[in-house]
């Protein structure tokens, strides 16, 4: 562990009321206002409190005016929360903090002011991920590259990767060109960028890249912002990518009052370009930086904290923290092995009902999964039980087909040059303007270097289109023109309604016999409702570009269901962590792509999961699971083995983790368990598991102090030998091809080769 080097708190004597109740470290973090500060804040250590108080302190002591503070977060939600909490501390002067927001929204603000310096107009549109892929695809098509091999999606990902690293096409290392389309990667990147300029558009990565270019080429502009931002604060610093890091470093050069807050153990966005390196390197980047560690945890019980700490200790390259708590001992972390995914959902459902019957609110409980496909089993189970639940993160509102279509209409009305919008809705609903007509328009547009709307007008004058197509296109163009006039003196919500109605778009869904149609109509109503909160169409479209969700409805009385990623920053009294199986968690795909770095990131994800829990943390794994419609056998996650056994209690039928009686404690904690609480031992699911395994006694076990971590995986010896024919409940008959501890590799007659635990097969 690196030695902590707390900075000298300036103004130590300050005794403003907002400082009350802070612990020493938090207080130091608030009062060390000048110079670079790295605040290493472990999970549940009151980070947000320290950070908002710090901002309040800067304002209160008039070290800075609200508009001189740059405060960046990653999500809109985090920005909103920060604003609200500062407001409770300093009141309305928070309104002056116009530089409080996400990286992207602040970069967009700056770019709008200087757009012409990179060849854009300040009215540029911001493209979302879907548009990016579409555009990338067009670029590939135009370059005559095999679209089967090199997809738009792939190109968009490569370009995104470069942008995350702050690389404009000219700066991409030559040897990286070969990663895509036989060396054409950079050329395609260039083509993509010039297409963006023609469209007067910027994607999310561009917002930052353009900022960097502007700052580097225009020292006067950079100096202006450097002067302005006398204090800077960055939340979730461990999630910054290189581009964001460069941006921050440029802006901080003058005053050097930059405070970065983060936790290297919670860096879980590496796959999106985040560099943990940024936080590990902070003291080198900013010599003389004060490093303040927040290590007192106010959230979880000692067992939960102990389990999490033990788990994360397997990672190398950590700055190192020792979390501690004064809270009372609570229950140990529970690990439960079950037969299959259905049973897992059933048992968790039962647990939730039993907690509920003890008076716990549903909104105090959360199910956190590795990947969203795991959610379905729980949704189904909750539905049959009649339990209210709420999915966080699911399909995003503005990414839904109908909403994107509606937005395309509005965007086209606002900027007729928006070819992407034109493409999207010119034939939606069907107007008889299919591929052929579109090809004509594209040809004209490309030949003359004009937008598709303008090309349409020319096509109408020519005879290149059939009469029917021409009539239809004329009608469409006239409509768009008329709506653009209407837009000038109509409330945006009224306009949206009028347009969708007159375009026949509402009608299209009303006539649709798709089972999803009613839901889509509801979404359109919601969208119009959302528009009505804005006074101008521009205001609305600008807002939408940087926000993917509607304002969240509160989750009172509903179980939370979300991915581990979505859970970062949240906390719940009871947390369920299902699906702790090899290949799912850690995710095989992730490991295949990024090896050990990915494994460490998966482990951090596990750490994030466990540390969300305040009182009760319940991990589970299933021996069999249906993935993509196929049954797969699964081994318990290595992360389960890494949990320190003193903090863990295993509830499972004996066979599941393959231990013989001797490798377990003979001391059973069964007698200590409140039967009402753990009624699942008598419920149908449990009985089924018992019958299915058709083996021995089922008792919960406590692990005693022999050995340091759990050994649920491959301990014990199997009684089976290579070559033995066996029978498995789900996979049928097969022959053993290898034995490793109690893991068997079996070649099943009908299900192929699988790894199974020996207690799940019997000699045939």
Does the protein bind DNA through residue 74 (CB under 7 A)?
yes
47 is catalytic: yes
660 backbone dihedrals φ, ψ, rounded to 5° = -85, 165
The DSSP secondary structure of 614-658, one letter per residue, reads EEEEEEEEEEEEEETTEEEE-PBPHHHHTSBGGGEEEEE-GGGGT
Q: How many residues bind DNA (CB under 7 A)?
A: 44
β-strand partners of 368: 562
Told to judge if 443 belongs to the known catalytic residues of this protein, a careful annotator would answer: no
Contacts of 196 (CB under 8 A, 6+ apart): 127, 135, 202, 203, 206
Cα separation, 7 vs 723, in Å, equals 67
Q: Is 42 known as a binding-site position?
A: yes
- ω before 586 within 30° of 0 (cis)? yes
Q: Are 233 and 267 in contact (CB under 8 A)?
A: no
Pairing of strands 125-127, 365-369: unpaired
383 touching DNA, by CB under 7 A: no
C-beta of residue 82 within 8 angstroms of C-beta of residue 52: yes
Q: How far is the CB of 702 from DNA (least distance, A)?
A: 33
Residues sharing a CB contact under 8 Å with residue 310, sequence separation 6 or more, in sequence order:
642, 643, 644, 647, 709
Q: Which helix (H) or strand (E) holds 71?
A: strand 69-73
The answer to whether 549 contacts DNA (rule: CB under 7 A) is yes
CA 220/CA 216 separation, integer angstroms: 10
Range in contact with DNA (rule: CB under 7 A) among 5-13, 491-499, 540-548, 610-618: 540-548
Report yes or no: 295 and 45 within 8 Å, Cβ to Cβ. yes
164's CB contacts (< 8 A; 6+ apart) are: 205, 241, 242, 243, 272, 273
From the candidates 28, 32, 47, 582, give the one annotated as an active-site residue. 47
Per-residue binder mask for DNA (CB under 7 A), 626-645, x = binder: x-xx----------------
Nearer to DNA, 402 or 615 (CB): 402
Binding status of residue 528 toward DNA by CB under 7 A: no
Which range, of 315-323, 326-334, 368-376, 528-536, touches DNA by CB under 7 A? 368-376
Residue 270 marked as a ligand binder? no
109 is catalytic: no
Q: Is 17 in the site for DNA (CB under 7 A)?
A: no
Residue 45 marked as a ligand binder = yes
Using CB under 7 A, pick the residue from 55, 140, 303, 547 that binds DNA. 547
User: Does 660 count as an annotated binding residue?
Assistant: no
473 close to 437: Cβ distance less than 8 angstroms = yes
In the annotation, is 612 catalytic?
yes
Choose the catalytic residue: 48, 198, 356, 709. Answer: 48
By the 8 A CB rule, do 624 and 756 touch? no
Per-residue x/- track, 668-707, DNA (CB under 7 A): ----------------------------------------
Is 102 near DNA (CB under 7 A)?
A: yes
User: Which residues sit opposite 247 in a β-bridge?
Assistant: none
Closest CB to DNA among residues 284, 750: 750
Structure tokens of 540? 């609305």
Residue 77, interface with DNA (CB under 7 A)? Answer: yes
Q: Among the options 131, 160, 203, 236, which is catalytic? A: 236
Distance CA 277, CA 128 (A): 28
Annotated binding residue 46: yes
- The footprint of DNA on residues 554-593 (CB under 7 A) is 562-563, 565-566, 587, 589-590, 593
The answer to the question of whether 21 is labelled as a binding residue is: no
Q: Does 481 bind DNA (CB under 7 A)?
A: no
Is residue 272 involved in binding DNA (CB under 7 A)?
A: yes
196 binds DNA (CB under 7 A): no
Stretch near DNA under the rule CB under 7 A, chosen from 341-349, 481-489, 612-620, 624-632:
624-632
Which active-site residues does the annotation give? 47-48, 235-236, 266, 612
Binding-site residues for ATP: 41-48
Contacts with DNA, residue ranges (CB under 7 A) = 74-77, 102, 104-105, 128-129, 147, 204, 271-272, 370-373, 393, 396, 427, 430-437, 469, 546-549, 562-563, 565-566, 587, 589-590, 593, 626, 628-629
Binding-site residues: 41-48
């Amino acid at each position: 562990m690196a030695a902590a080097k707390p900075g000298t708190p300036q103004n130590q004597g300050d005794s403003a009321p907002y400082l009350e109740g802070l612990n020493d470290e938090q207080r130091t973090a608030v009062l060390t206002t000048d110079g670079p500060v790295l605040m290493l804040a472990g999970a549940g250590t009151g980070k947000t409190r320290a950070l908002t108080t710090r901002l309040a302190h800067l304002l209160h002591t008039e070290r800075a005016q609200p508009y001189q503070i740059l405060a960046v977060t990653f999500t809109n939600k985090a920005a909103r929360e920060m604003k609200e909490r500062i407001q409770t501390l300093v009141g309305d002067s928070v309104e002056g903090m116009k530089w409080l927001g996400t990286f992207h929204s602040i970069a967009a603000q700056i770019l709008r002011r200087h757009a012409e310096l990179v060849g854009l107009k300040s009215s540029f549109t911001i493209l979302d991920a879907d548009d990016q892929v579409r555009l990338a695809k067009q670029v590939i098509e135009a370059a005559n590259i095999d679209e089967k091999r090199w997809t738009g999606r792939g190109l968009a990902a490569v370009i995104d990767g470069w942008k995350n690293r702050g690389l404009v096409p000219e700066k991409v290392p030559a040897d990286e060109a070969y990663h895509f389309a036989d060396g054409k990667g950079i050329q395609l990147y260039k083509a993509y960028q010039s297409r963006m300029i023609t469209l007067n558009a910027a994607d999310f990565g561009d917002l930052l890249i353009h900022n960097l270019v502007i700052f580097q080429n225009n020292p006067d502009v950079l100096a202006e912002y450097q002067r302005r931002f006398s204090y800077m604060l960055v939340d979730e610093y461990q999630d910054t990518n290189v581009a964001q890091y460069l941006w921050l470093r440029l802006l901080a050069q003058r005053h050097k009052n930059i405070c970065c807050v983060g936790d290297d153990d919670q860096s879980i966005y590496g796959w999106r370009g985040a560099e943990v390196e940024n936080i590990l390197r902070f003291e080198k980047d900013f010599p003389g930086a004060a490093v303040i560690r927040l290590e007192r945890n106010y959230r979880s019980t000692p067992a939960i904290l102990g389990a999490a700490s033990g788990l994360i200790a397997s990672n190398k390259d950590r700055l190192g923290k020792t979390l501690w708590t004064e809270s009372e001992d609570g229950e140990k972390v529970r690990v439960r092995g079950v037969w299959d995914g259905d049973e897992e959902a059933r048992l968790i459902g039962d647990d939730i009902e039993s907690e509920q019957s003890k008076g716990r609110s549903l909104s105090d409980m959360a199910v956190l999964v590795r990947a969203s496909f795991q959610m379905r089993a729980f949704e189904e189970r909750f539905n049959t039980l009649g339990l209210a639940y709420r999915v966080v993160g699911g399909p995003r509102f503005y990414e839904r087909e109908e909403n994107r279509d509606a937005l395309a209409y509005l965007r086209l009305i606002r900027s007729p040059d928006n070819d992407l919008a034109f493409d999207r809705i010119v034939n939606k609903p069907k107007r008889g303007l299919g591929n052929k007509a579109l090809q004509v328009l594209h040809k004209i547009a490309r030949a003359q270097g004009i937008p598709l709307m303008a090309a349409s007008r020319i096509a109408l004058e020519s005879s290149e289109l059939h009469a029917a197509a021409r009539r239809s296109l004329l009608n469409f163009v006239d409509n768009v023109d008329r709506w653009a006039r209407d837009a000038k003196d109509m409330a945006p919500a009224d306009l949206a309604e009028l347009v969708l109605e007159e375009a026949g778009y509402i009608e299209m869904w009303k006539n649709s016999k798709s089972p999803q149609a009613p839901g889509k109509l509801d979404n359109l109503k919601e969208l119009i409702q959302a528009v009505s909160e804005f006074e101008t169409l521009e205001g609305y479209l600008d807002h939408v570009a940087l926000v993917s969700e509607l304002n969240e409805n509160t989750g009172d009385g509903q179980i939370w269901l979300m991915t581990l990623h979505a859970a970062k920053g949240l906390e719940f009294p009871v947390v369920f962590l299902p699906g702790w199986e090899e290949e799912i968690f850690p995710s095989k795909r992730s490991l295949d792509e990024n090896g050990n770095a990915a494994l460490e990131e998966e482990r951090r994800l596990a750490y994030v999961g466990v540390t969300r829990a305040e009182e009760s943390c319940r991990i589970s794994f299933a021996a069999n699971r249906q993935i993509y419609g196929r049954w797969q056998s699964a081994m318990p996650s290595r992360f389960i083995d890494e949990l320190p056994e003193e903090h863990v209690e295993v509830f499972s039928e004996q066979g599941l983790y393959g231990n013989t009686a001797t490798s377990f404690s003979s001391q059973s904690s069964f007698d200590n368990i409140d039967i009402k609480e753990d009624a699942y031992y008598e419920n149908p699911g449990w009985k089924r598991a018992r019958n299915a395994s058709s083996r021995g006694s089922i008792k919960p076990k406590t692990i005693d102090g022999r050995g340091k971590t759990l050994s649920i995986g491959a301990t014990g010896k199997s009684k089976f030998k290579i070559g033995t024919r066996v029978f498995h409940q789900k996979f049928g008959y097969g022959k053993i091809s290898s034995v490793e501890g109690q893991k068997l590799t079996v070649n099943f007659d009908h299900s192929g080769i699988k790894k199974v635990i020996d207690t799940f097969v019997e000699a045939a």
